[in-house]
Amino acid sequence: MAEEKAKVLIIGSGPAGYTAALYASRANLRPILFEGDQPGGQLTQTTEIENFPGYPEGVQGPEMMEHFRQQALRFGAEIKSRTIDKVDFSKRPFYCVDDRGDEYYADTVIISTGASAKYLGLPDEDKYKGLGVSACATCDGFFYRKKNVAVVGGGDTACEEALYLSTLAKKVYLIVRRGVLRASDVMQKRVKERENIEILWNCNTLGLYGEDGVEGAHVVEFAGTDKERKFDIEIDGFFVAIGHTPNTSLFKGQIDLDENGYIKVHGIHTSTNVEGVFAAGDCADPHYQQAIVAAGSGCRAAMDAEKFLMEH
């Protein structure tokens, strides 16, 4: 069992973690970053990324994350392909243990563990992930210009995704499992007034079909009742908009989380309720959840950590 000390320990990779490592390295803080069980985060499961500045022709998600990683390494970040399994933020230096049992004492910690999109749990979602199945209309909507798509969900997120896609796609099906929307009145009104959005009430998705990608969805209306009806819709894209789950269970009881598990940060800063612990990226962002926003917050977290170390 080894023991190490760090001025900055970063838990999680992705745009936020790697950017935090880059900035902390350039400040000569010699950060140690733990990539976790999904190095590079959610973007490593994404194909073409066209909305990140600096890539005018677009870039594959895994390739972009490797660029981030190599830039952090270039300036001296130490990157470990391990996970942190235990933390103790009750006193400084903070105590962390990785999946091999090695112990770390850190003057500051930056949490950038991200969030995971919720899916329906259909086998076809895995089969067609990156081939028509997405959990981010802002990321992938451009690929479905003048095509037919479906959005699953009934809350504000689903309505926002449907409205966004309606500006690009020929037609948008909004698949709602109930007879009402849970979205705000304003969002409901906008969706119902948009001509190319068709709401499929009381419907659930049974599966997807297609040869080289999504070509349609099997849908059931009024499942389990005497009015049950099964039918297919022809679509090229299937967007799941039923929310995200922040990857923060490790920190429950250690720092303040909101009712949905997102880390609470203070105002424009990335500081948590524990002095010296900072949070960046989707694990502290229930609103935007975009790579460019996560990268920016990683920069801020590193700068906040640097200021903290200077003052203490």
Q: Looking at the annotation, which residues are catalytic?
A: 136, 139-140
DSSP string, 233-283: EE-SEEEE-S-EEES-GGGBTTB-B-TTSPBP--TTS-B-SSTTEEE-GGG
**DSSP code for 43:** G
CA–CA gap between residue 309 and residue 87 (Å, rounded): 20
Contacts of 117 (CB under 8 A, 6+ apart): 42, 135, 136, 240, 243, 244
Q: In the chain, count H helices and then E strands.
A: 7, 19
By DSSP bridging, strand 203-209 and strand 197-200 are unpaired
Place of tokens 């849970």: 182
- The answer to whether 72 and 116 are in contact (CB under 8 A) is no
| Local structure of 311: helix, strand or coil | helix
- The answer to whether 159 and 183 are in contact (CB under 8 A) is yes
CA–CA gap between residue 20 and residue 299 (Å, rounded): 5
By DSSP bridging, strand 203-209 and strand 216-221 are antiparallel
- The answer to whether 239 and 151 are in contact (CB under 8 A) is yes
Q: What are phi and psi of 260, to 5 degrees?
A: -100, 5
Pair of tokens at residue 40: 């590079």
- The answer to whether 162 and 173 are in contact (CB under 8 A) is no
